[in-house]
C-alpha cells in the first residue's frame, strides 16, 4: 500500500510540475508558479492544474506579453476587499515592459487590456 501511495504522490507531483509552467513569466500555458504582486507586496503562489468555466466571481490577474521577465500582478489579495480565494481570470496588459507591482499602475500604463478567457484557481500566500 505504501508503494502504491508513493507512486500516486510521485505521479501527482510530476503532473503538477508539467501542468504549471510559469504563467507569471509570460507563458499562458498554465497557472502561475512563483511570485505574484498585489498592492505593492510580493505573494508566493503554488501552480495548480485547474481550469474553470467562466461563471462565478473571479479576481483579475494581469499578465505582461511584452515583458519576458515580469511576473503577474493581481487586483486582489488575502485581507484586501473582495478577494475570491484565488479564483482568477487572466488579462493580458499590453505595452508594459517593466515590472509593476499593483493593479492600479497596470491599468493606468497598459496600452490595451485583453481578457484571455483563461480561468483557474491558485492561492496567494504571504511571502
Strand 112-121 versus strand 73-74 pairing type: unpaired
pLDDT at residue 39, rounded to an integer: 96
The mean pLDDT value for 90-117 works out to 97
Q: Tell me the pLDDT band of 55, cut-offs 50, 70 and 90.
A: confident
Q: Could you give the number of structural domains in the chain?
A: 1
pLDDT at residue 117, rounded to an integer: 93
Reply yes or no on whether the pLDDT at 123 is more than 90. no
Strand 59-63 versus strand 87-94 pairing type: parallel
Q: What are phi and psi for residue 82, nearest 5 degrees?
A: -100, 45
The model scores a pTM over 0.75? no
How many CB atoms are closer than 10 A to CB 12?
11
Sign of CA dihedral 100, 107, 103, 68: negative
Reply yes or no on whether the pLDDT at 15 is more than 60. no
The tens digit of pLDDT for each residue in 30-44 reads 444 689 999 999 999
pLDDT at residue 77, rounded to an integer: 95
Q: Which residues of 44-72 are buried (b: 16+ CB within 10 A; e: fewer)?
A: ebebbebeeeeeeebbbbbbbbebeebbb
The mean pLDDT value for 64-89 works out to 93
18-22, 68-72, 83-87: lowest mean pLDDT where? 18-22
Range of the domain at 9: 2-126
Percent of the chain with pLDDT over 70: 73
pLDDT at residue 85, rounded to an integer: 87
DSSP letters spanning 39-61: TTEEEEE--------S-S--EEE
C-alpha 70/C-alpha 33 separation (Å) is 13
Amino acid at each position: 500500500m505504501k508503494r502504491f501511495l508513493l507512486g500516486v504522490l510521485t505521479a501527482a507531483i510530476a503532473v503538477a510540475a508539467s501542468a504549471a509552467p510559469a504563467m507569471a513569466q509570460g507563458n499562458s500555458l498554465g497557472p502561475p508558479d512563483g511570485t505574484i504582486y498585489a498592492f505593492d507586496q510580493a505573494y508566493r503562489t503554488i501552480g495548480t492544474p485547474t481550469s474553470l468555466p467562466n461563471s462565478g466571481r473571479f479576481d483579475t490577474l494581469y499578465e505582461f506579453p511584452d515583458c519576458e521577465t515580469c511576473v503577474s500582478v493581481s487586483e486582489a489579495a488575502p485581507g484586501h476587499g473582495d478577494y475570491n480565494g484565488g479564483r482568477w481570470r487572466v488579462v493580458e496588459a499590453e505595452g508594459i515592459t517593466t515590472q509593476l507591482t499593483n493593479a492600479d499602475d497596470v491599468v493606468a500604463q497598459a496600452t490595451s487590456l485583453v481578457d484571455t478567457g483563461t480561468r483557474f484557481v491558485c492561492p496567494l500566500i504571504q511571502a
